[in-house]
Amino acid sequence: MPTLHLKPNLNLEFASYPEMLGVAWRSLPWLWQLEQSKHAPQPQKAKLLRQVSQGIARAVDADIQIQGLEFLPNQPCILAPLHEGLFDIIALLHLPIAMTFAARSELLEWQWLGSIFQATNVIEVNPEQGISSYRRLLCQAKYVLRDQHLVIFPQGSVCGLEIAFQRGAFGIAKALQVPIVPIVLTGSHTIWDHPFNSQIHQHQRIILQILEPVQNPDIRNLERQMKHLALEHQPRRFDPEKDGFWDSYKLEIDPDYPDLVTRMQSHRSRFAKHNK
């Protein structure tokens, strides 16, 4: 299968050489514009990044549908999307707002994807560091939220729907007294399911369903509402036997999936004993 090899250890596989060359050729102007956007002032940067994301989506003929734009507030807030793939970033950048992302630091090393994050002045996070990572995020969020929206994925993982929400996004929203805008995002894994599958699939659909802003929500109720809406479409589902158990990552399973909770706990207990 034709493959583009990117750094570090990031592969894009295609069904054929003509498809690979076509996507690469259509992407080149937008990757060049991405480099230009890094040095642009706001709000010009937001406009350039939106054009880049639209160009990359067109390169793979992705159909990105946005519902509920009327719920996006004018004042900066925290966007809290479901997370199921790295193409989520391309889809979210279609929104007509200035934004930055909270993302794991290792993502910044990746070609083109790292450049997109850097262009948004990404906030680096490492959930495995616990409270110290949260404090750094809180400190930087104060600065970002002066004039931009901040994207924090509550699940903190692309593994799938069954991954539980973490409290970081909601704690920061409460501490800084800004609203949370939930976004039910589905379909991005059908385009690129990295790290589980390297193949790029064209002609797929991503749906962003923006819900009404909430202040100090009941997290479990909100999580259930968002996942219920996601199930009306094509969300990514987590199967640890196929996708891996991600032993070194902070990864919690939604208690609404008790069988999966038991399997993960059993595996991680064996893993911990083996690595004592």
Query: What confidence tens digit (pLDDT) does each residue in 113-146 have?
Result: 677 777 777 888 877 777 888 888 899 999 999 9
Residue 196: is its pLDDT beyond 80? Answer: yes
**pLDDT average, residue stretch 172-187:** 97
| Mean pLDDT over the full length of the chain | 89
For residue 164, the 8-state DSSP code is P
113-116 own/partner pairs: CB under 8 Å, 24+ apart: 113/10, 113/86, 113/89, 115/31, 115/34, 115/35, 115/38, 116/34, 116/49, 116/52, 116/89, 116/90
pLDDT for 16 equals: 86
Measured distance CA(268)–CA(19) in Å, rounded: 41
The domain made up of 3-240 has a fold known as Glycerol-3-phosphate (1)-acyltransferase (3.40.1130)
11 φ/ψ angles, rounded to the nearest 5 degrees: -115, 145
Can you give the pLDDT at residue 233? 95
Distance CA 98, CA 73 (A): 12
N residues, the chain = 276
Return d(Cα 48, Cα 240) in angstroms, integer.
38
- The average pLDDT across 265-272 equals 85
> What pLDDT was estimated at residue 23?
85
- 8 has a pLDDT exceeding 80: no
From the list 37, 33, 90, the residue with the least C-alpha distance to 66 is 90
Instruction: Give residue 111's pLDDT band: very low, low, confident or very high (50, 70, 90).
Output: low
Q: Which has the minimum average pLDDT: 34-48, 108-122, 237-251?
A: 108-122
Indicate whether 6 pLDDT > 70: no
Of residues 122 and 245, more confidently modeled:
245
104 or 60, greater pLDDT: 60
Gap between the terminal Cα atoms of the chain: 41
Strands (DSSP E) found in the chain: 3-6, 10-13, 63-67, 78-81, 99-104, 123-125, 149-151, 180-186, 205-210
**Which has more confidence, 251 or 67?**
67
State the Rg of the chain over Cα: 18
The long-range contacts involving 227-232, CB below 8 angstroms and separated by at least 24 positions, are 227/82, 227/161, 227/254, 227/256, 229/184, 230/82, 230/161, 230/184, 230/186, 231/161
Report DSSP state, residue 129: G
Please name the helix (run of DSSP H) or strand (run of DSSP E) that holds residue 113, with its range, or none: helix 113-119
Report d(CA 212, CA 183) in Å as an integer: 9
CB 247 within 8 A of CB 265: no
